[in-house]
Amino acid sequence: MDVKAARTAAAEGAARATGRRREPRGTAVVSAADLFEALLADTENGVMLLDPDRRIARINAAAASMLGTTVARARRATATTLLTTVVAGDDPVGEGYRRRVSETETMLVTRRGGELPVAIRTFRMGSPPWLLVTLRDLTRVRRMHEELRRNERLALLGQLATGVAHEIRNPLAGIGTSAQVLLRRFEPRDERARFVQVILDEVVRLDRIVTTLLQYSRPRSPVLQRTEVSPLVSKVIELLADNLAASGVRVETEIAARPAAVYLDPDLVTQVLLNVSLNAVQAMPRGGRLRFEVRRVRRRQPPRGPGRRATDRGTDGARAVSPWIEYLQVRVSDTGTGMPRGVLRKLFHPFFTTKPDGTGLGLAICQTIMHEHQGSIEVASREGRGTAVMLNFPREKRHGQRRESHAHPNAEHAARR
């Protein structure tokens, strides 16, 4: 008996021993292609198979939905035209073909103008290489993690900052007053006056840190009013004129034809824009491009809890609710040094900073201000390529109505939900 016949006999014997009938060759119950298609249809993650020419050979409905297209339109399309991110020069498809396995988190721009945070994993197979791409929607995960981190930070800092800041300020005021008295007693050319001046400068710096800490732990409630964002962008560019000229950074602006006005606090939003823009300029010490874009974007509707407004859709479905929310977005992007993933994860942590003279509270305060506006701040960055910061303000009017200062006092609890 030859080897092939022996293997056949052994397989038939195993089938009889286990009580299962061995199917004749070529009559498998489920083909590999059918199994593959069933897995594609069942998974919630997006899956795409790209051929060596970087065209989409297979794509499931989840991936097509994430990219804002349909399965029929996406097939045979060039993958790089669909997998575009907000970071200039970023090419996740090209990086996937260069590496056997790659993984990254980024912000995709869909065909319909939406933006979607995703985790992209790629697997290179065969020669010439094919590429398997999986997309995981991070919208809900990011929102949950962000809310959890925010609550933890506020709970800890709210207890710590208030007591410590006041305890520091009292002796700090005494040090500053005593140093000023000493400085007046010295002659202008006295060597000791220089050291007293150092004391006064450090007192001012410490007072500024304490003030920033109090601002983060007890943020001022925004006084919302109907405002156009474009003038705020122009004001920030004017305030940064000296920094831009010194760094050799050129400014570009792209304002939507008819950007909608939103309800916000102009002073607080200007503070956020100024902080984000200054960080961008500092990331380009040898020059570059600072770009401001004001546009309308759409984001997926977050899942609603048991508490609902009277205007929300009821169980009878009388009022249709779109799965997307309209936002007015201010995107501040640069072509600077970018940030590695480790820095990106800690970006909004209090006291985390990469600057030698920074307090680490600037972006944390910006995040708090955006949350007080019922909006969000998101950062996408690639080391060596640049950074894009997205400030998203909800366009729906009820956010402004329920937070206006002249609202009924009994409705204050509703404003904080």
Residue ranges covered by each domain of the chain: 37-137, 141-217, 225-301+323-415
Confidence of residue 10 (pLDDT cuts 50, 70, 90): very low
- For β-strands 249-255 and 288-300, DSSP reports them as parallel
SS3 labels along 83-102: CEECCCCCCHHHHHHHCCEE
- Under 8 Å between Cβ of 181 and 200: no
CA 180 to chain centre: 46
Short-list 131, 129, 53, CA closest to 92: 131
- Please state the rounded mean pLDDT for residues 266-285: 92
- Please state the rounded mean pLDDT for residues 273-287: 92
* Share of residues in the chain with pLDDT > 90 (%): 24
- Please state the rounded mean pLDDT for residues 62-88: 87
| Per-residue model confidence (pLDDT) at position 16 | 45
- Under 8 Å between Cβ of 391 and 330: yes
Q: Of the ranges 7-16, 130-139, 359-368, 384-393, which one carries the lowest mean pLDDT score? A: 7-16
Structure tokens at 336: 């600077």
Q: Alpha helices, DSSP H only, in 301-408?
A: 341-345, 362-372, 398-401
- Please state the rounded mean pLDDT for residues 273-286: 92
Whether the per-residue pLDDT at 189 is higher than 50: the answer is yes
- Under 8 Å between Cβ of 103 and 133: no
Structure tokens at 276: 């984000």
14 three-class SS = helix
- For β-strands 386-394 and 376-382, DSSP reports them as antiparallel
Structure tokens at 199: 């004391």
Give me the CATH topology for the region 225-301+323-415. Answer: Heat Shock Protein 90 (3.30.565)
Please give the single-letter amino acid code of residue 88. Answer: A
Please give the single-letter amino acid code of residue 339. Answer: M
Burial of 225 (0-12, 13-18, 19+ CB in 10 A): middle
| Per-residue model confidence (pLDDT) at position 30 | 66
- Under 8 Å between Cβ of 243 and 278: yes
Q: What's 411's DSSP letter? A: G
Q: Please state, in angstroms and rounded to a whole number, the distance separating the CA atoms of residues 115 and 331.
A: 12
- Higher-confidence residue: 355 or 277? 277
326 pairs with which residues across the strands?
Answer: 298
Whether the per-residue pLDDT at 308 is higher than 50: the answer is no
Q: Is the peptide bond before 394 cis (omega within 30 degrees of 0)?
A: no
| Per-residue model confidence (pLDDT) at position 124 | 93
H/E run at residue 273: helix 266-282
Mean pLDDT score of the chain, rounded to an integer?
78
Write the DSSP assignment of 31-74 as a string of letters.
-HHHHHHHHHHH-SSEEEEE-TTSBEEEE-HHHHHHTTS-HHHH
- Please state the rounded mean pLDDT for residues 203-207: 84
Whether the per-residue pLDDT at 292 is higher than 50: the answer is yes
CATH 1.10.630.10 fits 37-137, yes or no: no
Q: Of the ranges 163-167, 213-217, 398-402, which one carries the lowest mean pLDDT score? A: 398-402
Contacts of 4 (CB under 8 A, 6+ apart): none
Whether the per-residue pLDDT at 24 is higher than 60: the answer is no
